[in-house]
Structure 1
Amino acid sequence: MKKTLLYIFAIPLGLIASIILPAIFSKVLIFFIPFESVNNFVDKYVITILCGWIAVGITALIAPSRKILFSGLMLILNIIATIWMFTNGDNFNYFFIIGGALSFVSVIINQKELSAKDD
Protein backbone atom coordinates (compact mmCIF):
# COMPACT_ATOMS: atom_id res chain seq x y z
CA MET A 1 0.00 0.00 0.00
CA LYS A 2 2.82 2.36 0.89
CA LYS A 3 4.59 1.84 -2.45
CA THR A 4 1.33 2.38 -4.33
CA LEU A 5 0.87 5.75 -2.64
CA LEU A 6 4.43 6.72 -3.55
CA TYR A 7 3.74 5.85 -7.18
CA ILE A 8 0.50 7.86 -7.13
CA PHE A 9 2.13 10.95 -5.63
CA ALA A 10 5.49 10.82 -7.47
CA ILE A 11 4.61 12.90 -10.54
CA PRO A 12 2.40 15.51 -8.80
CA LEU A 13 5.01 16.05 -6.10
CA GLY A 14 7.70 16.42 -8.77
CA LEU A 15 5.59 19.07 -10.49
CA ILE A 16 4.92 20.93 -7.25
CA ALA A 17 8.59 20.80 -6.27
CA SER A 18 9.63 22.11 -9.68
CA ILE A 19 7.42 25.15 -9.15
CA ILE A 20 8.03 25.95 -5.48
CA LEU A 21 11.76 25.27 -5.01
CA PRO A 22 13.04 27.37 -7.93
CA ALA A 23 10.79 30.25 -6.86
CA ILE A 24 12.37 30.11 -3.41
CA PHE A 25 15.88 29.92 -4.93
CA SER A 26 15.07 32.90 -7.15
CA LYS A 27 13.92 35.03 -4.21
CA VAL A 28 17.02 34.12 -2.20
CA LEU A 29 19.35 34.90 -5.11
CA ILE A 30 17.65 38.23 -5.76
CA PHE A 31 18.16 39.11 -2.10
CA PHE A 32 21.86 38.19 -2.07
CA ILE A 33 22.91 39.30 -5.59
CA PRO A 34 22.56 43.06 -6.02
CA PHE A 35 23.33 43.13 -9.77
CA GLU A 36 20.31 43.18 -12.09
CA SER A 37 22.11 41.60 -15.06
CA VAL A 38 23.29 38.65 -12.97
CA ASN A 39 19.78 38.23 -11.55
CA ASN A 40 18.27 38.19 -15.04
CA PHE A 41 20.79 35.59 -16.20
CA VAL A 42 20.15 33.39 -13.17
CA ASP A 43 16.37 33.70 -13.52
CA LYS A 44 16.24 33.01 -17.26
CA TYR A 45 18.82 30.24 -17.54
CA VAL A 46 20.01 28.70 -14.29
CA ILE A 47 16.64 28.58 -12.52
CA THR A 48 14.96 27.19 -15.66
CA ILE A 49 17.48 24.35 -15.92
CA LEU A 50 17.02 23.78 -12.19
CA CYS A 51 13.23 23.54 -12.67
CA GLY A 52 13.60 20.76 -15.23
CA TRP A 53 16.19 19.00 -13.08
CA ILE A 54 13.97 19.13 -10.00
CA ALA A 55 10.83 18.01 -11.84
CA VAL A 56 12.47 14.84 -13.13
CA GLY A 57 14.81 14.27 -10.18
CA ILE A 58 12.23 14.57 -7.40
CA THR A 59 9.94 12.23 -9.29
CA ALA A 60 12.76 9.68 -9.57
CA LEU A 61 13.58 10.05 -5.88
CA ILE A 62 9.99 9.44 -4.80
CA ALA A 63 9.26 6.42 -7.02
CA PRO A 64 10.62 3.40 -5.11
CA SER A 65 11.67 0.89 -7.75
CA ARG A 66 10.63 2.20 -11.16
CA LYS A 67 12.78 5.32 -11.15
CA ILE A 68 13.62 5.26 -14.86
CA LEU A 69 9.99 4.79 -15.88
CA PHE A 70 8.68 7.64 -13.75
CA SER A 71 11.51 10.02 -14.57
CA GLY A 72 10.96 9.24 -18.27
CA LEU A 73 7.25 10.00 -17.90
CA MET A 74 8.10 13.26 -16.18
CA LEU A 75 10.53 14.19 -18.97
CA ILE A 76 7.79 13.51 -21.52
CA LEU A 77 5.44 15.74 -19.51
CA ASN A 78 8.13 18.45 -19.50
CA ILE A 79 8.38 18.25 -23.29
CA ILE A 80 4.58 18.32 -23.71
CA ALA A 81 4.27 21.31 -21.37
CA THR A 82 7.01 23.20 -23.21
CA ILE A 83 5.40 22.55 -26.60
CA TRP A 84 1.98 23.54 -25.26
CA MET A 85 3.36 26.82 -23.85
CA PHE A 86 5.10 27.48 -27.18
CA THR A 87 1.86 27.00 -29.12
CA ASN A 88 0.16 29.48 -26.78
CA GLY A 89 2.61 32.23 -27.67
CA ASP A 90 5.43 31.77 -25.16
CA ASN A 91 9.06 31.17 -26.15
CA PHE A 92 10.22 27.58 -26.57
CA ASN A 93 11.78 26.80 -23.20
CA TYR A 94 14.54 24.39 -24.18
CA PHE A 95 16.47 24.99 -20.93
CA PHE A 96 13.62 23.32 -19.03
CA ILE A 97 13.94 20.27 -21.27
CA ILE A 98 17.75 20.29 -20.98
CA GLY A 99 17.50 20.27 -17.18
CA GLY A 100 15.05 17.39 -17.28
CA ALA A 101 17.20 15.45 -19.74
CA LEU A 102 20.30 15.94 -17.58
CA SER A 103 18.43 14.63 -14.57
CA PHE A 104 17.08 11.68 -16.58
CA VAL A 105 20.59 10.76 -17.73
CA SER A 106 21.89 10.97 -14.15
CA VAL A 107 19.05 8.69 -12.97
CA ILE A 108 19.95 6.14 -15.66
CA ILE A 109 23.65 6.26 -14.75
CA ASN A 110 22.81 5.91 -11.06
CA GLN A 111 20.56 2.91 -11.71
CA LYS A 112 23.28 1.23 -13.81
CA GLU A 113 25.82 1.77 -11.03
CA LEU A 114 23.44 0.36 -8.43
CA SER A 115 22.69 -2.69 -10.56
CA ALA A 116 26.43 -3.22 -11.14
CA LYS A 117 27.01 -3.17 -7.37
CA ASP A 118 24.28 -5.75 -6.87
CA ASP A 119 25.89 -8.14 -9.36
Structure 2
Amino acid sequence: MSVAKVGAVVLDCPDPRALAGFYAGLTGGTVEGEGDWVDLRIPGGPTLAFQAAPGYVPPRWPAADHSQQFHLDLTVDDLDAAEKEALALGARPLDADDRARTFRVYADPAGHPFCLCAC
Protein backbone atom coordinates (compact mmCIF):
# COMPACT_ATOMS: atom_id res chain seq x y z
CA MET A 1 0.00 0.00 0.00
CA SER A 2 1.34 3.42 -0.89
CA VAL A 3 0.70 6.74 0.75
CA ALA A 4 1.30 8.84 -2.34
CA LYS A 5 2.00 8.71 -6.06
CA VAL A 6 4.21 10.95 -8.16
CA GLY A 7 2.16 13.78 -9.63
CA ALA A 8 4.97 15.52 -11.52
CA VAL A 9 8.71 16.00 -11.61
CA VAL A 10 9.33 19.74 -11.27
CA LEU A 11 12.37 21.59 -12.61
CA ASP A 12 13.23 25.12 -11.49
CA CYS A 13 14.35 27.34 -14.35
CA PRO A 14 14.44 30.95 -15.56
CA ASP A 15 11.89 30.47 -18.42
CA PRO A 16 9.33 27.69 -17.86
CA ARG A 17 7.72 27.86 -21.30
CA ALA A 18 11.04 27.73 -23.16
CA LEU A 19 12.35 24.79 -21.14
CA ALA A 20 9.05 22.91 -21.50
CA GLY A 21 9.36 23.45 -25.27
CA PHE A 22 12.86 21.97 -25.23
CA TYR A 23 11.66 18.80 -23.49
CA ALA A 24 8.54 18.65 -25.69
CA GLY A 25 10.89 18.50 -28.66
CA LEU A 26 12.71 15.55 -27.09
CA THR A 27 9.73 13.60 -25.76
CA GLY A 28 6.83 14.54 -28.05
CA GLY A 29 4.87 15.90 -25.10
CA THR A 30 2.30 18.69 -25.05
CA VAL A 31 3.07 22.00 -23.32
CA GLU A 32 0.25 23.37 -21.17
CA GLY A 33 0.14 26.67 -19.30
CA GLU A 34 1.84 30.04 -19.23
CA GLY A 35 3.69 32.18 -16.75
CA ASP A 36 5.53 30.90 -13.69
CA TRP A 37 4.33 27.28 -13.99
CA VAL A 38 4.13 25.20 -17.16
CA ASP A 39 3.33 21.48 -17.49
CA LEU A 40 4.57 19.06 -20.11
CA ARG A 41 2.19 16.13 -20.59
CA ILE A 42 4.12 13.19 -21.98
CA PRO A 43 2.14 10.39 -23.64
CA GLY A 44 2.49 7.27 -21.50
CA GLY A 45 4.91 9.00 -19.15
CA PRO A 46 5.07 11.28 -16.16
CA THR A 47 4.23 14.96 -16.20
CA LEU A 48 7.23 17.26 -16.17
CA ALA A 49 6.54 20.67 -14.70
CA PHE A 50 8.67 23.79 -15.00
CA GLN A 51 8.63 26.48 -12.35
CA ALA A 52 10.08 29.99 -12.61
CA ALA A 53 12.85 30.47 -10.09
CA PRO A 54 14.09 34.05 -9.67
CA GLY A 55 17.87 34.08 -9.34
CA TYR A 56 18.13 30.55 -10.75
CA VAL A 57 21.69 29.24 -10.85
CA PRO A 58 22.20 26.09 -12.93
CA PRO A 59 23.95 23.07 -11.45
CA ARG A 60 27.42 22.09 -12.63
CA TRP A 61 28.17 18.54 -13.65
CA PRO A 62 30.04 16.98 -12.02
CA ALA A 63 30.76 19.32 -9.13
CA ALA A 64 30.10 18.61 -5.47
CA ASP A 65 29.98 22.32 -4.62
CA HIS A 66 27.21 22.98 -7.21
CA SER A 67 25.30 19.72 -6.95
CA GLN A 68 23.01 18.66 -9.75
CA GLN A 69 20.35 17.48 -7.20
CA PHE A 70 18.80 15.11 -9.79
CA HIS A 71 18.85 14.36 -13.50
CA LEU A 72 16.53 12.83 -16.08
CA ASP A 73 17.33 9.64 -17.99
CA LEU A 74 15.60 9.65 -21.38
CA THR A 75 15.61 6.31 -23.21
CA VAL A 76 16.13 6.36 -26.98
CA ASP A 77 16.38 3.80 -29.78
CA ASP A 78 19.29 5.48 -31.58
CA LEU A 79 21.82 7.49 -29.54
CA ASP A 80 23.36 9.25 -32.54
CA ALA A 81 19.99 10.35 -33.97
CA ALA A 82 18.71 11.42 -30.53
CA GLU A 83 21.89 13.37 -29.87
CA LYS A 84 21.53 15.23 -33.17
CA GLU A 85 17.95 16.24 -32.25
CA ALA A 86 18.87 17.19 -28.68
CA LEU A 87 21.72 19.42 -29.86
CA ALA A 88 19.47 21.05 -32.49
CA LEU A 89 16.96 21.83 -29.72
CA GLY A 90 19.64 23.53 -27.62
CA ALA A 91 21.22 20.80 -25.47
CA ARG A 92 24.90 21.10 -24.60
CA PRO A 93 27.15 18.03 -24.24
CA LEU A 94 28.63 17.58 -20.76
CA ASP A 95 30.48 14.30 -21.21
CA ALA A 96 31.20 13.44 -24.83
CA ASP A 97 34.50 11.62 -24.25
CA ASP A 98 33.26 8.02 -24.14
CA ARG A 99 31.16 7.38 -27.24
CA ALA A 100 31.15 3.61 -26.61
CA ARG A 101 28.91 3.87 -23.51
CA THR A 102 25.18 3.20 -23.64
CA PHE A 103 24.41 6.71 -22.36
CA ARG A 104 25.49 10.30 -23.04
CA VAL A 105 25.26 13.27 -20.67
CA TYR A 106 23.97 16.73 -21.66
CA ALA A 107 22.68 19.95 -20.13
CA ASP A 108 19.31 21.35 -21.14
CA PRO A 109 19.09 25.06 -22.07
CA ALA A 110 18.66 25.99 -18.38
CA GLY A 111 21.67 23.89 -17.34
CA HIS A 112 19.95 20.80 -15.85
CA PRO A 113 21.88 17.60 -16.57
CA PHE A 114 20.07 14.82 -18.44
CA CYS A 115 21.13 11.60 -20.13
CA LEU A 116 20.14 10.01 -23.39
CA CYS A 117 20.23 6.26 -22.74
CA ALA A 118 20.12 3.47 -25.31
CA CYS A 119 17.22 1.08 -24.81
TM-score (ref. length: structure 2): 0.26
Q: Which has the higher contact order (CA 8 A, sep 6+)?
A: 1
Query: Which structure dedicates a bigger proportion of its chain to helix?
Result: 1
- TM-score norm. by structure 1 comes to 0.26
